[in-house]
Amino acid sequence: MTAPSLRLEGSFALSVLPSTSISPLIAAPRVVAAAPRPIPLFRRSLPSPISRRSCWFAVKASSAPPTAEELKISTISTKPVEGQKTGTSGLRKKVKVFQEENYLANWIQALFNSLPPEDYKGGVLVLGGDGRYFNREAAQIIIKIAAGNGVGKILVGRDGLMSTPAVSAVIRKRGANGGFIMSASHNPGGPEYDWGIKFNYSSGQPAPESITDKIYGNTLSISEIKIADIPDVDLSSLGVVTYGNFTVEVIDPVSDYLELMENVFDFELIKGLVSRPDFRFTFDAMHAVTGAYAKPIFVDRLGASLDCISNGVPLEDFGHGHPDPNLTYAKDLVKIMYSEDAPDFGAASDGDGDRNMILGRGFFITPSDSVAIIAANAEEAIPYFKDGAKGLARSMPTSGALDRVASKLNLPFFEVPTGWKFFGNLMDAGKLSICGEESFGTGSDHIREKDGIWAVLAWLSIIAYQNKDKKVGEKLVSVADIAKEHWTTYGRNFFSRYDYEECESEGANKMMEYLRDVISKTKSGEKYGNYTLQFADDFTYKDPVDGSVASKQGLRFVFTDGSRIIYRLSGTGSAGATIRIYIEQFEPDVSKHGTDAQTALKPLIGLALSISKLSEFTGREKPTVIT
Ligand code: VG1
Ligand code: CO
């Protein structure tokens, strides 16, 4: 018998995953325990047009159905596939690429080949995802390969659903060895779009580069995959199924996370705000994973009305949307918040629930300001920080607003490369409590991922705290008031990011090489228009905890007045190259704080474009996204 391979077997009309009925080869899983389902919202979401079309993977040579006593494991031969290198946050490619023979299976096996056996043999792993197209098939592949490699137990979110922060929370709470997140985050989903996979380690943090580099190395030499001959597991209801020493437990994706949020925040304080007749709030889940969390948390627990939530049904293609909460892609929310009768507070989250966008009535809070404002108010408004923060940190391109809070509060401060994985060590070492990225990522050491719902609850806590003594009818302290007050105390860091998405890789790489060359010839004190150069470099980070070094993390031009221009290539795209230019300028003068950021930054933006010769290298005249 020749070794079988994992391959696409066929297409079936499914609205939920009836794994027991689609395979004639296999027996129904033995459900030992089942509990009631507390989240009706997501159940209604399943029959989307795309979710009816599904498929499954199977090992052709699958023999007799396994019993609870035995677990049969097959070894399948495979060949390496090029290009399986992890980017800023996991491996992301087009769905079609992941559907190629053994593509996902190779990566998962390469991961097990990279981990020390004691980190997974007989251990517990968590599995969840953002509900996007291909997650159902992927979940079954991951479960079977995990079983084939000796994992003891998989905790999987019902319907394969769990937000990135919730996976981190579940890993930590249940003492799991790690977990998989099936998501390409803010990238669009559907058969023509993106899929992705991330692996997080035992404290819930994204795997460090030392592990992801090993995985990549192993993808280049892989020759076999170990896979258990078990049926597709029914993920549509809570319960436990066991095959030999291997168990799959389908868990509620919300409850552990909600419990954690209740410990971090004063829910009664937030409830007091949300239930005020003079406060209106709206949350846009962008048809992504936080749709499953918004109702249980905001409506059922905090008393908001159901119509506060829009696009609250997770869909496999995010309703044809781009689940990226920024001013370009969350345009429905932006329109509402800038309308005449806008609510007092608006927020959105991305595909996998780790990003957030915060808006007041007619007022946008930049993510760089958001983390600074949260840090400045945390001790008073959020019980988790009642003894003060241990330290603050931001990614290198994020504005210096947070630095000013750290300095005023006399807190340790860290600047790390882009990507949440760099915060984890600092948190584990007890050096860091609150951190953020300019890319709509904010979070704390309650978990080891950025956390969209956490950021919304943090803002609601701050607004609630500032208005706790206000009687109905009195003017409330608004989101805009909180931001302006912050700027008055700390000064304003004007910040903007220009993205040039899906450029030709060649032009983008040449531009970066050109800039490296320019940087190598710069001298401190040189004039760039009205700006004087302090230094220019390619950012290198040495982790203060384990001493690991990450180089080539972004080209920066830093001027003597603190203004900065930074250039990076994105590490999360699935096609071409995305160039990001980050522009920042500090303004201490309160009378100038009301200026529009684009106006305030115009000279520096012009300088950024001319230094890089961007339009010459890429042919682009305009960015695709401005934030
Ligand atoms: C982007 C952001 C980065 C973020 C990463 C993952 O990376 O810039 O700050 O950590 O996405 O976010 P890049 O390499 O494209 O600039 V998510 O929500 O995709 O997990
Ligand atoms: Co995300």
Closest residue CA from atom 18 of ligand 1: 185
**Does 439 participate in catalysis according to the annotation?**
no
Write the DSSP string, 472-483.
BTBPPPPHHHHH
Per the CB < 8 A criterion, the answer to whether 201 and 114 are in contact is no
- Is it the case that residue 337 has pLDDT exceeding 60? yes
- Regarding the beta carbon of 499 and ligand 1, being less than 6 Å apart is answered no
* DSSP E strands, 413-554: 413-416, 434-437, 441-444, 492-503, 527-528, 531-538, 541-542, 549-550
Closest residue CA from atom 13 of ligand 1: 570
From the number of C-beta atoms within 10 Å of its C-beta (0-12, 13-18, 19+), residue 33 rates as exposed
Span 492-626 CATH architecture:
2-Layer Sandwich (3.30)
Which pLDDT does position 210 carry in this prediction? 87
CATH code 3.40.120.10 for 257-490: yes
- Is it the case that residue 382 has pLDDT exceeding 90? yes
- The angle at the Cα of 93, spanning 89 to 94, to the nearest 5 degrees, equals 145
- Regarding the beta carbon of 439 and ligand 1, being less than 6 Å apart is answered yes
Stretch 544-556: mean pLDDT, rounded?
93
Band (pLDDT 50/70/90 cuts) for residue 301 is: very high
Q: How many Å lie between the centroid of ligand 1 and the Cα of residue 419?
A: 6
CA nearest neighbour of 281 among 229, 344, 353:
344
Q: Note the pTM of the prediction, 2 decimals.
A: 0.86
Band (pLDDT 50/70/90 cuts) for residue 88 is: confident
Q: How many Å lie between the centroid of ligand 1 and the Cα of residue 566?
A: 15
Q: Which two tokens stand for residue 120?
A: 């997974």
Q: How many Å lie between the centroid of ligand 2 and the Cα of residue 295?
A: 20
- Is it the case that residue 2 has pLDDT exceeding 80? no
Per the CB < 8 A criterion, the answer to whether 378 and 406 are in contact is no
Per the CB < 8 A criterion, the answer to whether 586 and 400 are in contact is yes
- HSE value, Cβ hemisphere, 13 Å, CA-based, for 25: 14
Strand pairing partners for 290? none
In terms of DSSP bridges, do strands 224-228 and 392-395 run parallel, antiparallel, or are they unpaired? unpaired
Band (pLDDT 50/70/90 cuts) for residue 69 is: low
In terms of DSSP bridges, do strands 239-243 and 309-310 run parallel, antiparallel, or are they unpaired? unpaired
Per the CB < 8 A criterion, the answer to whether 89 and 185 are in contact is yes
Stretch 54-68: mean pLDDT, rounded?
40
In terms of DSSP bridges, do strands 531-538 and 555-559 run parallel, antiparallel, or are they unpaired? antiparallel
Q: What is the CATH number of domain 73-252?
A: 3.40.120.10
Which pLDDT does position 209 carry in this prediction? 84
- Is it the case that residue 308 has pLDDT exceeding 80? yes
Q: How many Å lie between the centroid of ligand 2 and the Cα of residue 440?
A: 9
Q: Do domains 73-252 and 257-490 have the same CATH topology?
A: yes
- Regarding the beta carbon of 354 and ligand 1, being less than 6 Å apart is answered yes
Helix (H) or strand (E) holding 314: none
Tell me how far apart the terminal alpha carbons of the chain are, to the nearest angstrom. 57
Closest residue CA from atom 19 of ligand 1: 185
Per the CB < 8 A criterion, the answer to whether 342 and 362 are in contact is yes
- CA–CA separation, 503 and 511 (whole Å): 11
In terms of DSSP bridges, do strands 91-94 and 434-437 run parallel, antiparallel, or are they unpaired? unpaired
Give how far Cα 518 sits from Cα of 209, 282, 331, 545, Å. 29, 47, 38, 33
Which pLDDT does position 571 carry in this prediction? 80
Quote the longest CA-to-CA distance of the chain. 79
**533 — phi, psi (to 5°)?**
-70, 130
Most confidently modeled range among 79-83, 464-468, 614-618: 464-468
Stretch 615-624: mean pLDDT, rounded?
91
- CA–CA separation, 72 and 70 (whole Å): 6
Q: Which of 439, 570, 574 to mutate to test the pocket of ligand 1 (most atoms within 8 A of CB)?
A: 439
- CA–CA separation, 250 and 264 (whole Å): 26
Of the chain, the percentage scoring pLDDT greater than 90 comes to 83
Closest residue CA from atom 2 of ligand 1: 439
- Regarding the beta carbon of 89 and ligand 1, being less than 6 Å apart is answered yes
- Is it the case that residue 368 has pLDDT exceeding 70? yes
CA nearest neighbour of 35 among 193, 239, 267, 218:
239
Would you list the domain boundaries of the chain?
73-252, 257-490, 492-626
Which pLDDT does position 364 carry in this prediction? 95
Q: How many Å lie between the centroid of ligand 2 and the Cα of residue 128?
A: 13
- Please name which ligand lies nearest the alpha carbon of 437: 1
Stretch 127-144: mean pLDDT, rounded?
96
Write the DSSP string, 373-403.
HHHHHHHHH-GGGTT--S-EEEETTS-THHH
- The angle at the Cα of 332, spanning 331 to 334, to the nearest 5 degrees, equals 60
- Regarding the beta carbon of 553 and ligand 1, being less than 6 Å apart is answered no
- Is it the case that residue 1 has pLDDT exceeding 80? no
Q: Which of 85, 86, 89, 450 to mutate to test the pocket of ligand 1 (most atoms within 8 A of CB)?
A: 89
Which pLDDT does position 535 carry in this prediction? 95
Per the CB < 8 A criterion, the answer to whether 550 and 572 are in contact is no
Q: What is the rounded average pLDDT for all residues in the chain?
A: 88
In terms of DSSP bridges, do strands 73-77 and 224-228 run parallel, antiparallel, or are they unpaired? antiparallel
- Regarding the beta carbon of 198 and ligand 1, being less than 6 Å apart is answered no
**Nearest atom within ligand 1 for CA of residue 573:** 15
- Is it the case that residue 553 has pLDDT exceeding 70? yes
Selecting among 51, 185, 236, 570, the annotated active-site residue is: 185
- Is it the case that residue 187 has pLDDT exceeding 70? yes
- Regarding the beta carbon of 252 and ligand 1, being less than 6 Å apart is answered no
User: Lowest mean pLDDT: which of 31-40, 262-271, 458-467?
Assistant: 31-40
- Regarding the beta carbon of 452 and ligand 1, being less than 6 Å apart is answered no
At how many degrees (to 10) do helices 255-264 and 164-173 cross? 80
- Please name which ligand lies nearest the alpha carbon of 353: 2
Q: How many Å lie between the centroid of ligand 2 and the Cα of residue 357?
A: 12
If one counts every other C-beta atom within 10 angstroms of the C-beta of residue 372, the result is 30
Alpha helices in 238-281 (DSSP H): 255-264, 267-274
From the number of C-beta atoms within 10 Å of its C-beta (0-12, 13-18, 19+), residue 360 rates as buried
Closest residue CA from atom 10 of ligand 1: 419
Q: How many Å lie between the centroid of ligand 2 and the Cα of residue 218?
A: 26
Q: Which of 418, 449, 501, 574 to mutate to test the pocket of ligand 1 (most atoms within 8 A of CB)?
A: 418
User: Lowest mean pLDDT: which of 61-75, 170-184, 500-514, 551-565?
Assistant: 61-75
- Is it the case that residue 367 has pLDDT exceeding 80? yes
Which has more pLDDT, 488 or 68?
Answer: 488
- Regarding the beta carbon of 168 and ligand 1, being less than 6 Å apart is answered no
Per the CB < 8 A criterion, the answer to whether 403 and 414 are in contact is no
Which pLDDT does position 31 carry in this prediction? 35
If one counts every other C-beta atom within 10 angstroms of the C-beta of residue 68, the result is 13
- CA–CA separation, 471 and 476 (whole Å): 9
Q: How many Å lie between the centroid of ligand 2 and the Cα of residue 611?
A: 31
- Is it the case that residue 89 has pLDDT exceeding 90? no
CA nearest neighbour of 611 among 541, 531, 553:
531
Handedness of CA 415, 417, 420, 423 (dihedral sign): negative
